[in-house]
Chains A and B, each alone.
Chain A
Amino acid sequence: MRRYLLKRIIFFVPTLFLLVLLSFTLFRLAPGNPVDRMMMGSNSQYYQDAGEWSDQRSYWNHRLGLDLPVFYLSIGSWEDNSLSRETAEDTWKKFIPFLHFHPNNQFHRWFLGDNLSSRGIIRGDFGISYTSGQRVSELIASRIGWSLFFALFSILLAYLISLPIGLHAAQHPSSLFTKVSSTSLIILFSLPVFWSATVLLMLFANPDIFYFFPASGVQPTGGFPDGITWIQKIRMTLPYLVIPTICYTYSSLAFLSRIFRVTISEVLKQDFIKTARAKGLSEKVVIGKHAFRNTFLPVITVFSSVFPSAIGGSVLLETIFSIPGMGLTIYQSIDAKDYPVLTAVFFLTGLITMAGFLLSDVMYAMADPRISFSKKQVS
């Protein structure tokens, strides 16, 4: 058990490093020069007289470290260490391959910081957003609230609804309710969530049909009126949340009840359930005490995916309802090609998912001792 955990944690470090590398590569692959983007954001005349800006440009190139080599190692010829074509002389040395090492490079600065303009992602500095000029970490902190709220609230709601459905379906596999619910859940599962969101908006937020709920946003457009208590604020916000909550919930509902049904019916086939029944325990105790506990293993896994999905947000739903969360931020940054924000979201989501995997593996190993043993048996 301890060995398994240790192994698992030791493997975590290189995977994390690979994630950092991957985020950096994606960031570097992005088309367009960051300096151009930054200066275009501050000055609209930039492209008309780009020649006058060349000093500025080279200054920023140098300041941001874009003139440095990309990574620690690079493959080049023996002769040119500077990676530029002009300085390489016509000698026989340029035909010889050579592995160069650069102690000061872009990745190093991006990862660990340079004590000048950035402090490196290892200290939580993801740079500056091209569009708003805000620090990316501040931007994310200001936007994550709504995404986190919807992710948590909808998953709780989905649990509360899907658990009884899954339990009933596993206990009475041939009842009418099971057949109806499983068919309708498959249909629900198959409906594209952006489609049902649009249809719900069309039906219930449409002045021509039913105008029950506002169509977009999470607050009145002009902000809250002055001098109202927080209870009134909540009451004013509630109508904005109804349709988004339905859409957020139902997409995970079908998935969850499926998982519950499969796991519970797997558990009910096990020997210890037979033993419990043979002991003469009532069905309530068998289900509630013996079977129910074992269904919580997959629940751990699913719950560990809540936080990453909160960081990633639901791009489609938040765009449709214009909820100012992470998903909308991602959509807007893609529209504006705001790569620092995208890289930050990418890296953070990956980091939290991986931490979630680690945590759920540890919890699994604690909850189910067979996992560490079975590992030994296989190898």
Chain B
Amino acid sequence: MTSIGTGYDLANSIFSPDGRNFQVEYAVKAVENGGTSVGIRCKDGVVLAVEKLVTSKLLKPNANKRIATVDRHLGVVYSGMIPDGRHFIERARDEARSWRDTFKTPIATADLASRMGGYLQAYTLYQSVRPFGITAIVGGFDSTAELPVDGEVGSGPSVGAGGKVAGKTHGGPGLYMIEPSGLYWGYYGAATGKGRQAAKAELEKLDLGGPGGPALTLEEAVKEAARIIYVAHDDDKEFELEMTWISGSDGPTKGLHQEVPKALREEAERLAKKAQEDKVDE
């Protein structure tokens, strides 16, 4: 950081002569200190996982959840400054609600990512604010079936909604990662936080973006997500693994964002620990 002390890092809305916004880069540093978050988009859903670092023995285990639900079909996990993440979620819920108020239909994952990307970007523009110290991973499953409009009572015209292309499918799993700059991309697998490098290396080994779509199933993805969090974890600190998933309406969560059942999570953790030990033995 040779530019520290040049004065260009003192506020948002000032570029340095070489075209950088230092406040945003410092926000990224805040993210890099947070517990690792991982998102995997697979064949039949999305898995979100976070390495929740235990900051005090006085905290109740499995309380203080880090992954939040937005609307019913969307989940958000983030790394970095937790209060910033809480505010991010509050805003995401407001966006999802106002979308429903306007369109009488649930917000699509891509639309929520776009709205939130725009929101974060606005926090890089003004003297009076600082950027968000988080990178958020937004996962969702947009219904593949034609949904009734909220409050609809009858079936409406039998010809269905307009603009349909025969044979074209709609909806499906979506995964987006939004950075402090407001930058967001859709991902097959996303990782952020302290262990992101190791996590990304592991994600790249998975079959997530094959020509016929991802081959990984939801249950396999849960196990991989747990393993990746364990791989990315720095050994000397205690942590809890928190995992949620979203499947389609025919899957285990019936289109809802829910916590992975305890039995499956414990199984995934057992396999993750075993994989760790096997590696040490080699």
Partners in one complex: no
